[in-house]
Structures are given as structure tokens and as C-alpha cells.
Chains A and B, each alone.
Chain A
Amino acid sequence: MKNRHVNALVVGAGAGGGVIASVLSNAGLSVVLFERGGWVSFDDHDNDELLSQRTTVLGNAFGPDDERYRRVVINEDGSTEIVYPSDGAYNNVAACVGSGTVSYGAMAWRFMAEDFTMKTTYGRVEGSTLDDWPITYADLEHCYERAEWEIGVAGDSSLNPFAAPRKKQYPMPPFAYNKEATLLESAMKRLGLHPFPIPMLRNSVPYSGRPACIRRRTCCGFACPINAKCGTHNTVIPAALSTGNCELRTNCIVSALTIDGSGKITGVEYFNGENGKEEQTADIIVIAASATETPRLLLNSTSKHFPSGVGNRFDWVGRNLQGHAYTGAFGLFEEDIFDDVGPGATLAISDFSHHNPGITGGGILANEFTRLPYLFSNIRPPRARLWGEEHKEFQRKYFRRNIQVVGPVQEMPFFDSRVQVDPAVRDSWGIPVVRLSGHRHGRDAEGCEFLSGKAEMILKEAGAFRTWRHVPGGGLSGGQHQAGTCRMGNDPRSSVTDRFGRVHDTPNVFIADASLHVTNGGFNPALTIMALGYWVGEHIASEWERGNRFS
């Protein structure tokens, strides 16, 4: 049976895809939303640390699975390795309705104005494709606001003097600090810094018919047992479905775009839940499959009009893969600090986000999400014993007496950090898999050195008797904050989409996920991705309203 033609299809029900499905179906377009995973709830995986989305040693509770999925990684020595979703090198986000927004830590950052004008602010960076976005913070401001109100954010931006200007406050009051944040707050103030509560996509009070957070230790990496965490799965996706215009097809793996003889993109082909092949046609095709899977889909879609993949005429699809150089420091204390008030991270500073002498960009610093017992067993100062009596004693003594201060350093985009498709290796549906290669730009190490030094200084001021820094290596970045692989731009020769996310050279293909990011800010990216979902969606909806059918 042939599937009914629809106005728009969206690939991926994550942060960006969930939002745009809601915008389009609310505007009256008929929509099919494809998701390769299913619905996953707290009851499926409980508080299980070993397969949480943060500590994936026994698998990813929120997908994908190790049986059907794999990727190829080119190591820096040139060797090739096959990796699975539970390996860090796979660079996973998730695969379920809501994707990362089900199990995320839910920090809800707006970027700052400078994050959209990195090249203008800091000048050219040798060896980096650093550039300005084709849109500004002011363009996106109302989209941030929609994300904050329609999905739900708790915070108080008035306490952050560096926050970009906003028209409307958050819909919910901020969360109270836990004990480690209280300790850090006074230390930061003594240092002349400006601490404030982290804006969170979690209900601090009942909101949108869902209850207030009960502050558990298992939040980041887990689903919320009471639905107090706000993701696309419990906000915009249900809103899309309730219009009656949107059909969500779960467990459907989109394998390629379909292209007719004239070079027009007509829809997608996909494998349904029974692994049967089907097609779906649509006037508009929106890809929101994440910064690693979106370029894979474009590159796997070839025809005589698109010999190297859709949108890839100038070889920019899959380029500039970036994430965040997460860096910071640990501190040990003489007294108990752990008060088991989840999710741990409650306080941040934005003093070092920009305009740091000699540094391009910077990042926020925040206290970290609760370090659960297994994760903590791998946290030790340099040269400490990693097993035996000393290790056990350390675990007992310091589980309740440590603080971690960390932040995402803005990375310099690097053209040769990239997603390709592997010529040989396929997933269990026979689709060529993602092939990752490249490494961080050298500048990122300077940002890490700088920011981890600040983290250490704060911990010392807070009374830590022992501190040590942690800095990521120079290898490939991406991870849960992956972005940048189909950047937007005004020049089709050095970008993949226009400023509204439309793929150059195709009238009806749009992208609406982290792939669009020209740069990734010194902030966790989810709220910006959601804002881009509104940005691209509003553009399509208003053009549709004017009668544009994108053909």
C-alpha cells in the first residue's frame, strides 16, 4: 500500500525535529514525523547507572542499540576501527522519541550575541573555518522565548549580568541551590564573579499540566519518573499530535531521500518496524536527525544530479564537526558536601564566556551533575591508585566530599573534522554507516587551559584542600553536543543551507537540527537547537501561508 502524500515530512523526533513538527502541524500542514527509535520511559530503565545515557558501559538506555548500529572511526594514526553506540568513540546522542531531550541534564542556555558573530568579534583564526552565522542573536531572540515558554524553562536571568538581552523572563522561578552550589556561590562572590542559578528545562513549579521536580540524584542520563523534565517528547511532540495533522512513525529508519528524473527531491525511503521498505512522499522534506546522522542521510542520497550527495556540490556536507571541549577541575574537601539534592548542577557563571585576554571565546562554568558511585570510581587525582585498599578508602571518604566545576569551551570549527559515509561498512539494514575522522583545532587547548584554571581557582577559594584539573585530549570532538556539519550561510560555496535552513540547490529540503550551527557557543546547545526548529519552522509556515509550495 502506498503512503498518502503529505505536505511535510520530518526525519528525527529529537530537539530540532520535535519543535519543527509542532510548528508545521500547528500551521495546518499535514506532517509525518519519522523516528528510528521508540517511546522510552523511566520504567524501562529505572535508576540504572550502568546503562544510563551518561555512563553507557552496558548500553544506551535511550538508544541506539549495539546490535544493529555501528560506525567507523579513523584514528589519528590512520587506523580504522568499528565502534558501537556504547563506545564513547561512536559519538552518540540518542535514538528515541525526544532523543537527547529525554535523558539530558536539561541546562537551557541561550547563546550570547558574540556567539553568532565569532569572526567579527575575534577575527580570523588560522586553520579554522570560524565564521559568523548568517543570522544574529536578535533574529533568534523570539525563538528562544518560544522554546522557553512552550517547552518550559526555570531560571532568573537578572542575576547574570552577561546574559544576552531578552524581552520576557523565564516562565518558571529558578531552582534553589544545593549545598555545593551554596559553597561555590560565596567563593565566587569573594572572587568578584557573578554566580546565578542555571536555567533548566525542568519544572521548578507545576507547569503545562506536569508536576514540579522532586530533585533526584539520577536526572542527567535518565528519564524523569514524574515527567518534571521538559523535552520535546512531553511538550511539542504531543502538541503536534494533538493538532490531528501530524503522524509520528516510530521505529522507522530513513535510509535516503528519493530523487526523481528531473532532480527534484520527492520524499524518503525508509525501513518500517518490520524492516520492510516503504516510501513517503512530501512537498517539503525536513532533516533533523542530529549532526552526525543528518549529513549521513544527505551523503547517502545520490543521483546524477547529486553525484556526491544532496547539498554537497561544494563538499561542505559533514564538514566542521564540533562539540565542546568540556573542561574543569575537581576539589576535595574536609567536610561533607553531598546533600543528595539532585540533579546536582544548580549554579553557573558566565564571566568567562567571552572577551578573555588571548582566548577566542570561552565558556560557562557550572557545578556538575551528581557523580554516581560507578562514575566516581573513575575520578581520582593524578597518580592516585586506581584499585586496592587506597581506592576503596578514597571512594568512602570522598564520595560525599568532592565538588566538580566544569564548562563547555567553545571549539574552533575545523574543516577536516568530518562525517563521511563508509565505503564498506553497513548497519543491519544495509545502509552505509557514518565514518568519523579529524581532531580538535589546536586553539581549543588554550581555552581549556584557561577555563580549567578558573575552575581550580574557584574550588580553592571554596576551601578545597586538594584540586586537580581535567582537560580533554586533542582528538575528534562531537559527542552529545555534536554540531556544525551542515552549516548555514549566505554563500552556497562555503555552506550547506541558507539562513532559513534550506539546502542550497534544492527548493524543498530543509535542515532543522544542530547541523546548522556555524559555531557551537560556549554553552550546552539544546535550547539553541530548539530555537532553530522554531526559526526554520516559522519560515516554512509563513511561506506556505503565502502560497509558496517550494517546487
Chain B
Amino acid sequence: MPEGSGLSRRDFIKLAALGTGALSFLPGCAPSRSREWIFLSDTDAALLGVVADRIIPPDSWPGGKENGAVRFIDTQLAGPYRRFRSDYRSGLDAMTAACSGKYGRKFESLAPQEQDSFLRAMESGALREGGWTGVSSGKFFAMLRDHVMQAYYGSPRHGGNPGYASYKMLGIDYPPLIGQNRYRL
């Protein structure tokens, strides 16, 4: 990184990715990678699925995971969200480390209340454990939350919200019907 350029590391990575397209992403170790995901490992995907279900919990309507959050995130990390890859890599690693430091267990095996209080600590930026070097816990949580919302409420063409499930939940038709009053108010 050029010294004294005033650019943050994230900017530099974005720049490098833009300039040459050749910046390959090197994860710390080589986790198992199934054919199901383009960028994520199976471990990442499992963790993200559980987080997505805390951000949008399942009830009589699908939770974040069932409504395609992981597929959406994986697809975007191979597309427009390439620039968030390093945030995801270091954020997921820090989450895992923080969780084993704090509870001695994986996030997935915590009780839902524990998961929520862990996520709240992330959200407020108060989570110290885990060595958040690449991305702060608050910023990573905000990103996760936002991406899960996008998956849940956005167009199915991006990998989430199959069949516009969330539109059904909100009672808005898709495709939109024109010229009739569908819902008597």
C-alpha cells in the first residue's frame, strides 16, 4: 500500500480489484469448499444461515435462512460485493474466534438468547474478543444485517426471496396486477 496516500486499506483493496481484476483472495487456510457455494466455505455458510435466522427469525413465514440469505450473500460476494470479501473473511473468522473465546462453543450451538446477546454486542461494537482487525464488529454486523434484509426483501433474481415469499408476507402481489382493486381496504 502506498505510504501516506491517505487511503484506507479497504480502499486500496477496492482499487486493486478495480485496476487489474487480478487480486485473488487468499483465505488464511483452505477450508472445505463444496460445489454449492462460489465463495463461502460450508462452515461459513452454516454460520451465516444461523445468523440470518436471528436477524429474521422464522415464524409462520420463512426465516432469513430459508428465504435464501446465504445464497444471496454468496452470489453477491462473487459479483458486486466482491469488494466486501475481505470484510466477510475477517469478520466471520473474528466471530468464530470471539465465540469460542467467550463461550468455548460454536455460535451455532449457542442458545438463541445467547446468540442474540452475542449479536447485540457485535452491533454495539462492544464485543472485544476475537481480534477484530480487518473490520470492526459493529461494521460487520451492520453489513450482515443489511445484506440479510436485501436477500429477504429484494428481487429473487439475486439469489434470495424465492418466489417473492416476503412480498406474499406483506400482502403485495407479484407480478403487480394493474387496474383492479385487489385488496378491499
Chain B residues whose C-beta falls within 8 Å of the C-beta of A337 in the assembled complex:
185
The listed residue (B5, B154, B178) touching A50 by CB distance below 8 A is B154
The listed residue (A46, A48, A79, A216) touching B178 by CB distance below 8 A is A216
Is B136 in the interface zone, CB < 8 Å from A? no
Q: Given A214-B179, A373-B166, do A336 and B185 touch, yes or no (CB 8 Å)?
A: yes
A48 close to B7 (CB less than 8 A): no
A80 close to B6 (CB less than 8 A): yes
Is A261 in the interface zone, CB < 8 Å from B? no
Chain B residues whose C-beta falls within 8 Å of the C-beta of A340 in the assembled complex:
172-173, 176, 182-183
The listed residue (B15, B18, B76, B155) touching A67 by CB distance below 8 A is B18
Chain B residues whose C-beta falls within 8 Å of the C-beta of A48 in the assembled complex:
154-155, 157-158
Which one of B26-34, B54-62, B103-111 is at the A interface? B54-62
B155 close to A49 (CB less than 8 A): yes
Whole-angstrom CA separation of A338 from B167 in the bound complex: 14
Is B153 in the interface zone, CB < 8 Å from A? yes
Which one of A103-111, A160-168, A392-400, A493-501 is at the B interface? A392-400
A84 close to B59 (CB less than 8 A): no
Q: Given A387-B54, A392-B59, do A66 and B185 touch, yes or no (CB 8 Å)?
A: no
Is B145 in the interface zone, CB < 8 Å from A? yes
Whole-angstrom CA separation of A495 from B8 in the bound complex: 36
A387 close to B55 (CB less than 8 A): yes
Whole-angstrom CA separation of A258 from B144 in the bound complex: 48
B39: shortest Cβ distance to chain A, in Å?
16
- Considering only CB atoms, which chain A residue lies closest to B116 in the complex? A388
B11 close to A81 (CB less than 8 A): yes
- Considering only CB atoms, which chain A residue lies closest to B170 in the complex? A399
Known: A46-B155, A58-B158. 11 other contacts (CB 8 A): A47-B155, A57-B150, A80-B7, A339-B185, A373-B167, A373-B170, A377-B152, A377-B153, A388-B55, A388-B116, A395-B153
Q: Name which of A58, A80, A389, A391 has the most chain B CB atoms within 10 A of its CB.
A: A58
Is A179 in the interface zone, CB < 8 Å from B? yes
Q: Mark B40-61, 1 if CB is under 8 A from A, else 0.
A: 0000000000000011110101
Whole-angstrom CA separation of A306 from B182 in the bound complex: 63
Is A28 in the interface zone, CB < 8 Å from B? no
Whole-angstrom CA separation of A391 from B146 in the bound complex: 13
Whole-angstrom CA separation of A351 from B170 in the bound complex: 35
Chain B residues whose C-beta falls within 8 Å of the C-beta of A374 in the assembled complex:
149-150, 153-154
Chain A residues whose C-beta falls within 8 Å of the C-beta of B176 in the assembled complex:
47, 216-218, 340
B15 close to A82 (CB less than 8 A): yes
Q: Name which of B83, B157, B181 has the most chain A CB atoms within 10 A of its CB.
A: B157
The 28 sampled A-B contact pairs (Cβ below 8 Å) are A46-B157, A48-B155, A50-B150, A57-B150, A58-B150, A58-B158, A66-B80, A79-B6, A80-B6, A82-B14, A82-B15, A84-B14, A215-B178, A217-B176, A373-B172, A377-B152, A377-B153, A386-B145, A387-B55, A387-B145, A387-B148, A388-B54, A389-B57, A391-B56, A392-B57, A395-B153, A396-B170, A400-B171
Chain B residues whose C-beta falls within 8 Å of the C-beta of A82 in the assembled complex:
7, 11, 14-15
- Contact-residue size bin, chain B (C-beta under 8 Å from the other chain): 35 or more
Q: Given A67-B18, A340-B182, do A59 and B80 touch, yes or no (CB 8 Å)?
A: yes
Whole-angstrom CA separation of A376 from B167 in the bound complex: 12
B residues bordering A, Cβ < 8 Å? 5-8, 11, 14-15, 18, 54-57, 59, 61, 76, 79-80, 83, 116, 119, 123, 145-146, 148-150, 152-155, 157-158, 166-167, 169-173, 175-176, 178-179, 181-183, 185
The listed residue (B8, B18, B57, B169) touching A81 by CB distance below 8 A is B8
Chain B residues whose C-beta falls within 8 Å of the C-beta of A335 in the assembled complex:
185
- Considering only CB atoms, which chain B residue lies closest to A335 in the complex? B185
Whole-angstrom CA separation of A218 from B174 in the bound complex: 12
Q: Name which of B57, B80, B119, B183 has the most chain A CB atoms within 10 A of its CB.
A: B80
Chain B residues whose C-beta falls within 8 Å of the C-beta of A67 in the assembled complex:
18
A66: shortest Cβ distance to chain B, in Å?
7
- Considering only CB atoms, which chain B residue lies closest to A50 in the complex? B154
The listed residue (B14, B80, B171, B173) touching A58 by CB distance below 8 A is B80
Q: Name which of A66, A389, A391, A392 has the most chain B CB atoms within 10 A of its CB.
A: A392
Chain A residues whose C-beta falls within 8 Å of the C-beta of B173 in the assembled complex:
340
The listed residue (A70, A339, A400, A424) touching B170 by CB distance below 8 A is A400
B53: shortest Cβ distance to chain A, in Å?
10
A245: shortest Cβ distance to chain B, in Å?
39
Chain B residues whose C-beta falls within 8 Å of the C-beta of A389 in the assembled complex:
57, 59
Whole-angstrom CA separation of A441 from B32 in the bound complex: 54
Is A243 in the interface zone, CB < 8 Å from B? no
- Considering only CB atoms, which chain B residue lies closest to A56 in the complex? B80
Whole-angstrom CA separation of A84 from B11 in the bound complex: 10
A86 close to B55 (CB less than 8 A): no
- Considering only CB atoms, which chain A residue lies closest to B161 in the complex? A373
Whole-angstrom CA separation of A399 from B153 in the bound complex: 12
Whole-angstrom CA separation of A272 from B177 in the bound complex: 42
Is A378 in the interface zone, CB < 8 Å from B? yes
Q: Name which of B76, B178, B182 has the most chain A CB atoms within 10 A of its CB.
A: B178
B103: shortest Cβ distance to chain A, in Å?
20
- Considering only CB atoms, which chain B residue lies closest to A66 in the complex? B80
- Considering only CB atoms, which chain B residue lies closest to A339 in the complex? B185
Whole-angstrom CA separation of A428 from B183 in the bound complex: 50
Q: Name which of A80, A387, A389 has the most chain B CB atoms within 10 A of its CB.
A: A387
